Amino acid sequence: MPIPPLSEEQLHAARAAAAGARRERAAVKEKVRTRQFTVGDVLDLAAENDIIAHIRVVDLLKSVPRIGPKRAEVLMERFAISPGRRLRGLGRHQIDALKKEFS
């Protein structure tokens, strides 16, 4: 099914909404980076906020101080989280394991 054509106003509104969502996700990751939020805090927020729920798990882990790409990959494998998984797609046991790891 083709995407219906959008008016200029609709395109502008969609672009603004997407940019706002990217800024909100970046702000949350920055708060994790500066230790204002924990991984558990972000997981709790993701349960309530659809925009935050779209953060990739690997991106969240890499925003934690002292966790780089390799350690994030090891954690993802240990908790059986696929590389492209977003916070919304985590199971209850995966969420509990991440909270326990970073508490």
Q: Where are the domains of the chain?
A: 8-101
Which pLDDT band, with edges at 50, 70 and 90, does 2 fall under?
A: confident
> What is the fold, at CATH topology level, of the domain defined by 8-101?
Helicase, Ruva Protein; domain 3 (1.10.8)
Distance CA 56, CA 85 (A): 6
pLDDT in tens, 72-89: 999 999 999 999 999 999
**What pLDDT is attached to residue 4?**
84
Q: Report, as an integer, the average pLDDT of 23-47.
A: 96
Model pTM? 0.88
Question: Residue 22's closest CA among 47, 74, 58, 59?
Answer: 59
**What pLDDT is attached to residue 57?**
97
Task: Convert the chain into a string of H (helix), E (strand) and C (coil).
Answer: CCCCCCCHHHHHHHHHHHHHHHHHHHHHHHHHHCCCCCHHHHHHHHHHCCCHHHCEHHHHHHHCCCCCHHHHHHHHHHCCCCCCCEHHHCCHHHHHHHHHHCC
